[in-house]
Structure 1
């Protein structure tokens, strides 16, 4: 079953797997890459030193520690993009972001990251 979960302040698409009485989640590889990029970008705000070469496991451990210390959820730093959009494009962006329960900036970042992975993945 497809589902969208909030992991450390990022909405991630996943599959819920039920095997008898056991419940698990599977996150597609492209969403794992997006989560890793997000954590590399966000964790320094919470005092964790990470690099793009940090393992996903390490990033998740740091994220759990950060959220326990916060007694809440981590959030992505807010960025004000220096771009001006045509009003109809801006409305579409805001509407699409609202449907995904994220900010327009977060949606733009997700689109850019996905396109980057698509392009860089093809070159490698």
Structure 2
């Protein structure tokens, strides 16, 4: 079953599988890379030192530790985009973001990260 989960303030597409031994969550490699980039970007805001060479496991452990010390949950840094969109593009972005239960900024960041991974990867 396809599902979107929120990990440390980041929405990740995943596949839920129920078997004899319990529930399994599978995340595609592209989405794992995007989550890793998100954690590299966000964890320093919560006082954790990371590098681009950090493994996903290390980043997840740091994120778990960060959330344990918070009274809430980690969140995507708020960004004010330095440019304006055409009104019809902005409306489409907002509509697409609301359908995925995320902010327009989060969706835009996700689109940019995926395109970056396509080009660099």
Q: Please, what TM-score do these two structures have when normalized by structure 2?
A: 0.97
For structure 1, which runs of at least 5 residues remain unmatched after alignment?
Answer: none
Matches within 5 A, 1:69-88: 69-88=69-88
Find the counterpart in structure 2 of residue 15 from structure 1.
15
Matches within 5 A, 1:1-124: 1-121=1-121
CA distance, structure 1, for counterparts of residue 24 and residue 72 of structure 2: 23
* Deviation per residue, 1:76-104 (Å, 9 max, x gap): 11000011111101000011111111111
CA distance, structure 2, for counterparts of residue 45 and residue 62 of structure 1: 12
For structure 2, which runs of at least 5 residues remain unmatched after alignment?
Answer: none
CA distance, structure 1, for counterparts of residue 71 and residue 23 of structure 2: 26
Aligned residue pairs total: 121
Match of 2:13, SS state, is strand
Deviation at 1:71, TM superposition (A): 2.9
CA distance, structure 2, for counterparts of residue 41 and residue 82 of structure 1: 18
CA distance, structure 1, for counterparts of residue 62 and residue 110 of structure 2: 22
RMSD over equivalenced CA pairs, Å: 0.8
Q: Please, what TM-score do these two structures have when normalized by structure 1?
A: 0.95
CA distance, structure 2, for counterparts of residue 30 and residue 104 of structure 1: 20
* Deviation per residue, 1:32-71 (Å, 9 max, x gap): 0000000000000000000111000000000001111103
